[in-house]
Amino acid sequence: MKKLLLAALLIALIVVAGGLWLIRTNTLAPDATASLDGDADAGALIFAAGGCASCHGTEGGSEEERLVLAGGHAIDSDFGTFYTPNISPSEAGIGAWSLEEFANAMVRGVSPEGQHYYPAFPYVAYSRMELQDVADLWAYMQTLPESDTASRPHDLPFPFNMRRGLGLWKLRYMPDGWVMTGEDSPERGRYLVEAVAHCGECHTPRDELGGLITVDWLGGAPNPSGEGSIPNITPGALDWSAEDIAYYLESGFTPDFDTAGGSMVDVIHGTSQLPADDRQAIADYVKAVPAVE
Amino acid sequence: MLITRLASLTLAGAVALSPLTATAQDGEAAIEAREGAMNVLGLSLGTIGGMAKGDVEYDADAATAAAENLAAIASLNLGPLFPEGTSSDDVEDSRALPAVWTEWDEFQSQWDDLGAAADGLVDVAADGQEGLGAALGPIGQACGSCHRQFRQSN
């Protein structure tokens, strides 16, 4: 009897240990970023494509204020309200971080303290980024103004305030590759759309646990920030030419010379700064993704 | 019973004849008028944008006419076009967010930005196709930043 009990206890321990191992924070190899040398000018373009200032810059601010990455934007979700953190190069932000820590935050969703980030921070997309681009972005962000505004804690009810549980979420939803595979997938456009610009975060619907439903990739979704919806931008709904799309990303004008509204205005603020080839690459990719009807 | 019915009939009659209804109709007219103004902006931008993109052959007269129309619309007074009671909360087919009225000065200042950008376009419209794209940039920004803040998303 005692033996049986001991065996059960042992099994329980193994299950718990196995479980803890499964939901551990999975960081990069220690030397993954050691040889990288970031280029701030290249990083400025990554910063623009990623639209970092949309969520972390001063809301409704001037061009200069947008580059003060004090955070504080509220992101409403079914799980509670997230507040974007200060990511300026100050003590209150990420000034004390190393490149390795920044890279783990970006591509693994793990904080320097070894905690999981909530996927409101789009590391699911960034996990597909090249580490050189992460290093360039890091170099650029060092050049931005400092803000000493303290990051506001998220406002999440139990059980969503348990960060450890995010390990399970990551097991289920962290991607191990591209959404659009196959030879006809335009590589540069795919990199920009699926990784850096994280278009799918808003344009793809989510399941009840907040994971992206990738079979409906870019097929449109309810607007997380309130009324209306984010449009389907696959060929199933969007009949613009690639040139129309590229021009929209440059100027904000639709083919009818209406303009973007909502958070897409911030996105276009970023894409208008990219080389024309990159806007064309995004457009070519959007034209090539499978149609969602 | 009869009295209640009479009272409600009288009330209905009073509502139908009251100035409140007249205001609602004026509101509808204002919404149509401002949408018409936006359509003129779109039409003018279509002409110039088509030339800027190279889809349509450049024509100095047509470009100037379109730019001047754009600037004329952008110089309209906003007040009569956006009377109180015509926000997206008040009227089903309105997309003007309540912020238009709560942050009127900001709304006005964004409209002034469009005016300045439109004047810039008028200045270069007759000078050739090359300058059109650059002059459209500030107009796109003015449209976008105002729509971001004051227009309801689809």
pLDDT digit string, tens, across residues B91-109? 988 999 999 999 999 999 9
Residue at A6 is within a domain: no
Residue at A2 is within a domain: no
Q: How confident is the prediction for chain B on average, in pLDDT? A: 87
Beta bridge partners of residue A293, listed in sequence order? none
Q: Are A156 and A275 members of one domain?
A: no
Q: Set out the domains of chain B in order of their start, with CATH numbers.
A: 22-150 (1.20.120.10)
Please give the torsion angle defined by the CA atoms of residues B92, B94, B95 and B101, in that order, rounded to the nearest 10 degrees: -110
Q: Are A230 and A144 members of one domain?
A: no
Q: Are A166 and A224 members of one domain?
A: no
Indicate left, alpha or beta for B87 from its phi (over 0: left) and psi (-120 to 50: alpha): beta
Q: Nearest chain A Cα to B54, which residue?
A: A243
For residue B136, list chain A residues with Cβ-Cβ distance below 8 A: 251, 253
Range of the domain at A60: 28-176
Please judge whether B148 and A251 are an interchain contact, meaning their C-beta atoms are less than 8 angstroms apart: no
* pLDDT, greater one: A179 or A258: A179
Give the A window 38-97 contacts with B, CB below 8 Å.
Answer: 60
Please judge whether B147 and A261 are an interchain contact, meaning their C-beta atoms are less than 8 angstroms apart: yes
Residue A225 and residue A202: Cα distance in Å, rounded?
10
Question: Quick check: pTM over 0.90?
Answer: no
pLDDT, residue A26, reads: 85
pLDDT, residue B15, reads: 43
Residue at A4 is within a domain: no
For residue A266, list chain B residues with Cβ-Cβ distance below 8 A: 148
Residue at A16 is within a domain: no
For residue B45, list chain A residues with Cβ-Cβ distance below 8 A: 253, 257
Q: What is the DSSP letter of A214?
A: G
Residue at A165 is within a domain: yes
Count of domains in chain A? 2
Q: Is B141 on the interface with A (CB under 8 A)?
A: yes
Asked if residue B13 lies in contact with residue B94, where contact means CB atoms within 8 angstroms, the answer is no
Q: Say yes or no to pLDDT of A15 above 80.
A: no
Asked if residue B18 lies in contact with residue B12, where contact means CB atoms within 8 angstroms, the answer is no
Q: Are A38 and A54 members of one domain?
A: yes
pLDDT tens per residue, range A209-246: 999 999 999 999 998 766 678 999 999 999 999 999 99
pLDDT, residue B9, reads: 47
Q: Are A115 and A183 members of one domain?
A: no
